[in-house]
Amino acid sequence: MTQHQYVLAILCKLWLDNKPPIELLYDGCLVQCVYLGSIFVSQLFAFYMDESGSPKPNPKDSTSYFAVGGVLIQHKDESSIRLQIANFKQRWGIDESVPLHGNEIRSRKKNFAWLGRISEDEQNQFLLDLTTTIVQCPIIVHGCVVSRKGYLDRYLERYGSNTWEMMKSAFSILLERVGKYVVLQGGKVMVYFEKAGKKEDNLITSYFNDLRNSGAPFSAETSAIYEPLTSNQMQQVLTGIEGKSKNNPILQIADLCLYPIAKSKDQPQNRAFQELIQHKKLIDAVLTPDNLEKMGIKYYCFDNSL
C-alpha cells in the first residue's frame, strides 16, 4: 500500500466513525474531500439503478426473486460510456432511440425480433459484442437480490397487509452499501432510476429521502454487524435522486447487468455473470475480503441472515 493509499484508508475510516474529513466548495457545490499530503481528492459518482421482478409481497407470484441493482460510474466517465453504447448500436444497425432492453434481447421479441431471423453464429456474434462492450465500460455492478419465498416466510405472517414491498428493503440495503463503497473512494454519489410513473417515482424518492433522513430502516441491534452508515453519513454521501427515461444508455447497461445478478443464485455459472466477475466489474470482485460482507452484493432472505 502506498503512502497516499494508507492516508486515504485512515481518513475514510475516520469518516465511517462519524469524524468527517475536509469539505470544500467545487463549482459552487459543497463536496466531500480527503487530504492526501499536498492534494485534495474528491470523486463524484453516479449510480444508475433498475429493478427486476415485482416488489409486491404477493404469495401467488411464482417468480422466485425480486432484485434491484445497477452500475456505479464516475461522472467523468459518462460521455465515454455513452459513446461505446452508441458505437455498438451503430455496428448492428440499431437506431439510437431503441433501448437495449434485456428481456427483448433474450426473448428475440419486439425491437429485437430480428435476432431470431439471423443465423445462430450471427446471434452469438451479437451477444459477444454486447458483452465485450459492457465489460469494457468503466463500471462497478452492484445489487440486492431478495428471495420471494424467504421474504414472505419471514415477514408476511408477522405483518400481514402491513408487510413492506420488497423494494423498500432492497433499495435501502443496496444504497447503504453503495454509499459505504463510495466513502472508501472519498466521494459522493447521485442516484438515477428509470421513470415508471408518478406514483412509483414518488415512492422511490420517498424511500431515498427516508434513508438520508433516518438511516437504513432495520433493527440497529441485528444490523450492527454490517456497520451501517448513520443518517448523517447518508446525507453527506448521497447527494440526490432523479428519474431518467429508459432511453438513457447507462440505465440500459444497468438493466443488462442486473439480470445475471438476479439469476446468480439459481444460475451462478451463467455466462454474463461470469464475465462480470472475470473482468472485475462486479463489486464482489473488487472488494477486499473484510469488506465483502458489509458492502458486497446482498442475497436477502435466502437464509437466516439479515
* Antiparallel, parallel or unpaired: β 65-74 and 140-147: antiparallel
Beta-sheet strands, E only, within the chain: 23-26, 29-32, 34-36, 39-41, 43-52, 65-74, 140-147, 187-194, 238-244, 298-300
Give CA separation, 248 vs 4, 71, 82, 89, 108, in Å. 36, 13, 9, 13, 21
Kindly indicate the confidence band of residue 223, based on its pLDDT and cuts at 50, 70 and 90.
confident
- Residue 123 backbone zone (phi > 0: left; psi -120 to 50: alpha; other: beta): alpha
**Overall average pLDDT of the 212-229 stretch:** 84
Residue indicated by cell numbers 475514510: 12
* Antiparallel, parallel or unpaired: β 39-41 and 34-36: antiparallel
What pLDDT is stored for residue 294 in this prediction?
A: 94
* All three cell numbers of 282: 462486479
Kindly indicate the confidence band of residue 42, based on its pLDDT and cuts at 50, 70 and 90.
low
Higher pLDDT, 158 or 127: 127
Look up the pTM and report it.
Answer: 0.85
What pLDDT is stored for residue 304 in this prediction?
A: 54
Instruction: Please say whether the dihedral angle defined by the alpha carbons of residues 302, 303, 304 and 305, taken in this order, is positive or negative.
Output: negative
Instruction: Please say whether the dihedral angle defined by the alpha carbons of residues 179, 48, 194 and 238, taken in this order, is positive or negative.
Output: positive
Domain locations along the chain: 42-300
277-287 confidence digits (pLDDT tens): 999 999 999 99
* Amino acid sitting at position 275: E
What pLDDT is stored for residue 162 in this prediction?
A: 87
Hey, what CATH topology would domain 42-300 get? Nucleotidyltransferase; domain 5 (3.30.420)
92-142 confidence digits (pLDDT tens): 999 999 999 999 999 999 999 999 999 999 999 999 999 999 999 999 999
> Could you tell me how many residues make up the chain?
306
